[in-house]
Structure 1
Amino acid sequence: MKKFSLLIITIITCQILVSQNETAPNKLTQKGFAKINFLSINMPEFNIPNEPNMGFSGIHYNLFLNESFYTGLGIYGAITGERGGFFTLGINAGYKKYLTEKFYLDTGFHFGGGGGAGAPDGGGAFILPHFNLGYNFKHFSLNTGWSYVNFFDDGLIKGNQLNIALEIPLNYVYTNYNKRENIYQLKELNKSNWNQKTQRTSLMVHLNNLDVTKALPTQEQVIQGKTIRLAGFEFANYFTKNWFGFIKVDGAYSGIKAGYMDVFLGGGYHFSFNKNNTHILTKFSIGAGGGGGVNSDGGFMIAPDVSLEQKLFKNTFIAINKGYLLTPSQLFSTSSYGVGLKYYLDRSGTIANKKHFSSGKFKGVDFIIKHDWYFNAKRISEPTEDMHQISLQINLDLNKHLYVAGQTSFANFGNAGAYAEGLVGLGIKSKKIMGIHTRFFGQILTGAAGGGNISTGEGLIIKPSFGADYQLNNTLNLRGSLGYVKAKGGNLNNAFINLGLSYNFSFLNMK
């Protein structure tokens, strides 16, 4: 028995040593670009006499499939006009052709869903093609041209307009998803093409509160003096040791009628103290917000903020924040405060200032675009009918079987164009079975939802589901699931199914 135990220990030890000395996987580069664009949409005569144009601004990220064709995702929000709280989500496809070294043609197509703020958006489905001429300034490019918008599922918003866009090259490095959770020693990584400077990134889920100090009453409610409770997430990337940029998305789950959300893009400065165990972050962001009966004066908002972070363990911090969220006219103004859980990553390289790593682990991430079909989605006042929505979910693997998830969804068919969701949760997935192609999963998400006359009470929903992924190639999977959605305090209480595509890869995180 002792000899047998010694043999087993020897075999396990050899396997560990072999895995630790395994050659690091090759670093791959995916070319892409971030895009911010703006268009002014002529609004139809509906419920606001002589309604001004709606200023519609989008944030996008696109991947190049080859030298010219690209695809990606984008989220739009109203920032001027009378429709603050109008938001959409969609997918992009396009083609870029350089006419000279600097000038290029860009033609593309956006399909999405969304709406809100009482606009005539129908079911929410819309198309937005464009044809632009651009100029490349090396570190960024500008383009402008014709575009056309049409909310074609019984919506009234349609027409031609001029658009303008700013684009910034934004590539990332990765390796195949099947390398996730593999650990490599620093000396092995330094022999590979991962031997470069790290990029610092942070991910945070948070709860925020808006104490409304000034707001115009609407026909739906009086919100001045109330507290809007929000749940959301923030993604930040560091450009230098201290300067960073971030994107933040929140949705209301309590305090007012369901339907309020905001999206912010901003920057900040990071101060470290107490041997990097304590941080103070100053932030300033601009964005779009509204919905849920909030009169946000066209939608454009600013949000100064200060955060204090304290290390809990390893790269995980608890954060508290105090700031303000308001429209420039102060027609709507709030005092904000909240708490969050933040995780820092030193990724995509092995070299960092004043940091000494011993090893690196590859972490899996999964981007899922899907179509949800809600059966008999209960309304507040309209007849019950099915509802459809376009949905984006992002999973970060905790290990080979557990993952954390964030999801946002917008209605696109079913007479509920203003409906949207913002959810977070946990999931578990199996090993691949049936050869090497299929994996089963189960997850439970919760968060904020509302708008579109869907009966979600103050906005809190819970959404369990289970399904399967079928591998198409190294990065793409066909994904389907079925589940149930239940609103706390509302009548939304039904089954749903969805079908979509997932794009996954692994990135290097140093330890």
Structure 2
Amino acid sequence: MGVEWRHFLDRSRFVRIESEGAMGGRSNGYMQILLGGGYRWSITPLLALDIMAGAGVAGGGRVDTGGGLLLDAQLGLVTQSKSGYFFELSIGHVWAPQASFKAHSASARIGRAFAVPKAANQEVELADLAGYSVLPLRIRAAHQMYSRSNPRWRTHHADLGFNNLGAQVDYFPTAWLFLTGQGLAAYSGKAGAYMIGLLGLGIHLGGTVFAEAEALIGAAGGGGAAVGGGLVRQVNAGIGLRLNETTDIVAKVGRLEAFHGRFQARVWGLSLGYRFATFTRSPQ
């Protein structure tokens, strides 16, 4: 499970970055980050073929990737609506040239394509924004502390909690609802290999002082966390304070647990957020 970002250089060529983590099988803790590009061949106005290749790093989950170098090639069939939402199915091959790891891959993606106004200068005329809508976003620098809720939550150092640092990106389709993607990694508690990636929904209520709640699902592993195949869920709730028009601070408490493992943790979180907006429209 993971996320991907693409940027089209023209109507056919694009660059991409993706990151995924294992959430099933016996390879919890495996994660990969790939950079690459691709070419889109349009079959009809709403159907296209994507040819993609990439390279990056991967490791964890007892997967033999050697020094970590990973290569990837994919072929995908994508259908896109006029509103910009798309669905893609792809097949591919991934391999570590320095080790024994080789695998066939099958992927399903759902997302949204959008265009932004061109800004050759620092100022954009109001008339140039006709047809665009506002995309409200928030980026958060986050710290989370885990403490055990199950005495067998880790395969080693079960008596130690651990701390994590990461980033969170929120999109607000309405003033009270947001979609969120989050990634964190451990830096203490003998859990240095632990990483987690989550996607979910959140509710935001209030003004200068506000309340928030989140429901998340994703993949985690490493650091001795007994997460089974790696699939995890997390719920959070807390209060926040708007420091000014663009900045807020949020304190949350929550619970994180594995679907198929013994990992259960109490979560204490603190984040500093920056709000901004950009203008987007569906691609022509």
Superposed pair shares fold, TM > 0.5: yes
CA distance in 2, matches of 1:401, 1:279: 36
The residue correspondences of 1:326-341 to structure 2 (distance < 5 A) are 326-329=95-98, 331-341=100-110
Q: Map of 1:463-502 to 2, 5 A cutoff?
A: 463-502=234-273
Find the counterpart in structure 2 of residue 380 from structure 1: 155
Matches within 5 A, 1:168-183: none
**Corresponding residue for 1:430?**
205
Structure 2 residue 176 is the aligned partner of structure 1 residue 404: no
Give the one of 234, 237, 243 matched to 2:7: 237
Is 1:371 the counterpart of 2:140 in the alignment?
A: no
Cα deviation digits, residues 389-414 of structure 1 (max 9, x gap): 11211111222222211111100111
CA apart distance, 1:439: 2.4
2:60 is matched by which residue type in structure 1? G
Q: Secondary structure of 2:66's match?
A: coil
Q: Does 1:420 align with 2:195?
A: yes
Indicate the SS of the match to 1:458: coil
Aligned-residue offset at 1:447? 0.8
**Given that residues 420 and 450 in structure 1 are in contact (C-alpha distance below 8 angstroms), is that contact kept between their aligned partners in structure 2?**
yes
Cα deviation code 1:433-483 (max 9, x no counterpart): xxxx22221111111101111111111110010123322233221121111
Q: How does 1:11-50 map to 2 (within 5 A)?
A: none
Q: Distance in 2 between matches of 1:348 and 1:366?
A: 20
Specify the SS of the correspondent of 2:154: coil
In structure 2, relative to structure 1, the CA distance for the partners of 1:363 and 1:450 (3 Å cut) is same
- CA distance in 2 between partners of 1:496 and 1:243 (Å): 42
Residue 341 of structure 1: CA displacement?
A: 0.3
- 2:204 aligned with 1:452: no
Q: Is residue 274 from structure 1 mapped to residue 49 from structure 2 by the alignment? A: no
Partner of 1:504: 275
In structure 2, C-alpha distance between the alignment counterparts of 1:323 and 1:257, rounded to whole Å: 19
Q: Quick check: 1:369–1:391 contact (8 Å CA) kept in 2? A: yes
- Do the aligned residues in 2 keep the contact of 1:366 with 1:394 (CA within 8 Å)? yes
Q: 2:69–2:98: 8 Å Cα contact kept in structure 1?
A: no
SS in 1 for 2:27: coil
Indicate if the aligned counterparts of 1:376 and 1:387 stay in contact, CA closer than 8 A.
Answer: no
1:305 aligned to 2:52?
no
What per-residue deviation string (whole Å, max 9, x for no partner) do you get for residues 75-103 of structure 1? xxxxxxxxxxxxxxxxxxxxxxxxxxxxx
Say yes or no: does 1:323 pair with 2:92: yes
Cα distance in structure 1, aligned partners of 2:8 and 2:99: 31
CA shift for structure 1 position 325: 0.8
Matches of residues 4-153 of structure 1 in structure 2 within 5 Å?
none
Q: Secondary structure at the match of 1:414?
A: coil
CA distance, structure 1, for counterparts of residue 206 and residue 250 of structure 2: 15
The Cα of 1:312 is off from its aligned counterpart by 4.7
Rounded to whole Å, the distance in 2 between the matches of 1:292 and 1:251 is 10
8 Å CA contact 2:168–2:180 kept in 1: the answer is yes
* Percentage of pairs with the same residue: 26
Higher relative contact order (CA 8 A, sep 6+): 2
Bigger radius of gyration: 1
Alpha carbons 2:67, 2:98 under 8 Å: kept: no
For 1:389, the equivalent position in structure 2 comes to 164
- Matched-pair contact (CA < 8 Å) for 1:315–1:344: yes
Cα distance in 1 between the residues matched to 2:80 and 2:247 = 36
Alpha-carbon distance in 1 for matches of 2:234, 2:92: 31
Shift of 1:509: 1.1
Of 278, 283, 288, the residue aligned with 2:52 is: 283
2: CA distance between counterparts of 1:464 and 1:383? 22
Secondary structure in 2 aligned to 1:385? Answer: coil
- The two structures have a TM-score, normalised by structure 1, of 0.51
Deviation, structure 1 residue 348: 3.0
Alignment check: 8 A CA contact 1:349 1:508 kept? no
2:14 is matched by which residue type in structure 1? F
State how far apart, in whole Å, the 1-side matches of 2:99 and 2:189 are.
35
Report the AA paired with residue 180 of structure 2: A
Q: Given the alignment of the two structures, is residue 295 of structure 1 paired with residue 64 of structure 2, yes or no?
A: yes
For the residue of structure 1 that corresponds to 2:223, the secondary structure is coil
Structure 1 residues not aligned, in runs of 5+:
1-230, 351-356
Q: Report if aligned partners of 2:64, 2:99 keep a CA contact under 8 Å in 1.
A: no
Task: Work out the CA distance in 1 between the residues paired with 2:41 and 2:239.
Answer: 44
CA distance in 2, matches of 1:239, 1:474: 34
Provide structure 2 residue ranges, at least 5 long, that are not aligned to the other structure: 120-128
Measure the CA separation in 1 of the matches of 2:131 and 2:175: 18
| TM-score w.r.t. length of structure 2 | 0.90
CA deviations over 1:7-26 (Å, ceiling 9, x no partner): xxxxxxxxxxxxxxxxxxxx
Cα offset, 1:330, TM superposition: 5.7
1:249-302 CA-to-partner distances (Å, cap 9, x unmatched) read 000000113100000011111222322x11211111110011101110110011
**Offset at residue 313 of structure 1 (A):** 5.8
Equivalent residue for 1:264, pick from 24, 34, 41: 34
Once residues 280 and 135 of structure 2 are traced to their aligned partners in structure 1, the CA distance between those partners, rounded to angstroms, is: 7
Q: Is the 8 A contact 2:217 2:233 kept in 1?
A: yes
Matched-pair contact (CA < 8 Å) for 1:388–1:413: yes
